Chain A
């Protein structure tokens, strides 16, 4: 077996699964509320129970999101010249012929994605808590309802892109989500500045 290098700690892998799982659960139940998907409601034992699952799933997501900051935030705030060049060649995703600059642990697309998830996540969590707990404040409810749905649109657009890039578009990447490790040889090619 090829020599492996650890990219993500065990708690990072675990927390990412919690974040991903709760996020997908919240998106599915969110769509069910938005479009009155009775079959989805039936799976969760009716809309009343689904509301509780959505609310408490939101608590799990919020805690997991805050915890994820220790794993990704520092990296996500730091960009260099190679990162700027990466954006110019669209990360090599639009053509295999362009030269992609050497990357560190994360490419700037991933870093930007994290910032979007963090900001939209904070917005959707705070507005969610407002809808849940501030029912008698009319203007707050309507504002929170709007913010919750704007952030939801952001999530349903960026999360599938993240899933695609982490699976089909970059074979082998999903293994890091499971084991936290990747082959050293691959790491040297994809993350030269991190591995050196």
Chain B
């Protein structure tokens, strides 16, 4: 599962303070992935669509926070799959190949192999996977098809301000540090994310999850229960074989001895 050649790991660096909320990334994503429009209602915010969806692999989250200088501060956060190194969705998925790691380190999906169990939805620390009308998983796949063809993802390609940058993960992290960003969100979390965020302020202010983790029950299951099922089965089969050879089967006659 681990991406051994870390130099080949690609990432998207999001710099929210450069984002102007134009939503070109949303449009480019829909265009490349041929996703239909979603009919939504104005519910008091410019945020649209209101949430990630099977037809919205990325979105800009708009939040209004208190400010000293102005009546309110308007913050924009570009959201998509975080492409975790330690990906809860891949860990829990019971169907081989339905969720998988690409060569460039992205977490991609194969909807033909998805069996529609929705375990990935509940194992994701970032509430990312969405199911389409046919109950198959969908989410951002880092445009691995474009990457494989030597191009960058649709969203980063179209971003007019540099709020979204694509490149080698190592280089993006060091460049953001050199520019003086206090927090590189996702540098270490979950083994290192493939969507990293450069913040000068608290990530929490933008609505980022603090200390993201794969659910503890999933970690416990993967670390202990899975091996235990094999060890348990092997152990009792071995014990039965030893019992048969060393002690032998029940004999009615010997009861009288």
Contact = CB atoms under 8 A, between A and B. Distances in A.
B218 interface: yes
Contact of B228 (A146, A153, A160, A186): A153
25 contacts: A33-B95, A34-B229, A36-B96, A47-B115, A48-B115, A48-B116, A93-B250, A96-B247, A96-B254, A96-B257, A131-B117, A136-B118, A142-B123, A145-B122, A145-B218, A149-B225, A157-B233, A160-B233, A160-B237, A161-B240, A164-B244, A168-B249, A169-B250, A170-B249, A189-B252
A47 B136 CA distance: 13
Interface string B220-245: 11000110111011011100100110
Contacts of B123: 142
Contacts of A97: 254, 257
B229 A156 contact: yes
Contacts of B172: none
Interface string A124-154: 0000000100011010011101100110110
Interface size class of B (residues with CB under 8 A): 35 or more
B92 interface: yes
Given A38-B96, A41-B96, A97-B257, A153 B225 contact: yes
A51 B236 contact: no
Interface string A166-180: 001111000000000
Contact of B94 (A34, A92, A161): A34
A152 B240 contact: no
A100 B233 contact: no
B247 A145 contact: no
B75 interface: no
A87 interface: no
Contact of B240 (A31, A168, A189): A168
Nearest to A140: B122
Given A47-B115, A93-B243, A141-B119, A146 B217 contact: yes
B76 to A, nearest CB: 27
**4 nearest CB pairs, A to B:** A33-B94, A36-B96, A135-B118, A164-B240
A145 B229 contact: no
Nearest to A29: B94
Name A's interface SS.
helix
A146 B243 CA distance: 32
Given A34-B226, A142-B217, A169-B243, A51 B232 contact: no
A94 interface: yes
A196 interface: no
Interface residues of A, number: 43
A102 B218 CA distance: 47
Contact of A51 (B117, B228, B235): B117
B87 to A, nearest CB: 15
A123 to B, nearest CB: 14
Nearest to A95: B247
A51 B247 contact: no
B255 interface: yes
A131 B183 CA distance: 38
B255 A156 contact: no
Contacts of A145: 92, 119, 122, 217-218, 221
A131 B122 CA distance: 11
Given A93-B243, A157-B233, A146 B250 contact: no
Contacts of B243: 93, 164, 169
B229 A138 contact: no
Nearest to A92: B250
B248 interface: yes
Contact of A47 (B95, B215, B247, B250): B95
Contact of A96 (B98, B228, B248): B248
A190 interface: yes
B121 interface: yes
